[in-house]
Structure 1
Amino acid sequence: MSVLEVKDLHVTVEGKEILKGVNLKMSTGEIHAIMGPNGTGKSTLSSTIMGDPAYKITKGDILLNGKSIIDLPVDERARMGLFLAMQYPQEIPGVTNAEFVKSAINARRPKDDPISLMDFIKRLDETLETLDMSEEM
């Protein structure tokens, strides 16, 4: 089970403090909704967790499975399993969601051991069923 934990996180953007002591703990399988009016730091929190360099951590920590990730680059965070999905994502012509997900899985595997097409399809079908999503996704 993976655990993402945010501890007393203070973040500035362009010199202005946006996050002032955020604490959050999320485990695999849990569902969390972060809600609030515009300008309350929701996007700042997610961008900071993903390592956007425009967001400066002045205090606190972000832990994934007990390990601090605040000094890791974005690609390492992604390989550890963190992903930020945008509300209105850009479409890349010719790239399907399934191809994107398969590439993401393979990025976390050894280069000489990509997931087989049959294993990928099986896992994809199981996940679609769990999430009650159609194959058109």
Structure 2
Amino acid sequence: MKINHGRYYYQFHRLVEKLRSEDNTCFICGSAKNVKPHHIRRVKESNKQYASASNVVLLCSHHHNKYHKIYGSGKGVNRATFDIYVKKEHLHEINKLTKENNQLKSYKENVIITLDSAVKKERTELGNNVLRNLAANLGVKIE
């Protein structure tokens, strides 16, 4: 039995291969893991937009599945919902990076404080040892 693909089916697959050869990463997060094509606007294989570069992006499995979980696979798949989704996901990524950055700053501050305390302690001990050695060389007893 022969499968009857739409008119633009093969052009779509050539476009996907071209996208993958240029930049095989998720349009949203940049991940190269499990990347698959996503139609921004839902169209049939017989529609010219099916194979249009302006209607196809690569998304990782996470973002592709999440988008369809939110907007479904029917009429909800369109440019407006895709743009909203991308903005929300980018905002989420920015918030996540900001939180990680703040955690790193806090960690860095704690490390600096700890190192500063350790250096002060070492300087004090080193100074005390120098004084003891000097006193011993001079024959002076320090309590």
The structure whose Rg is larger is 2
TM normalised by structure 2 equals 0.22
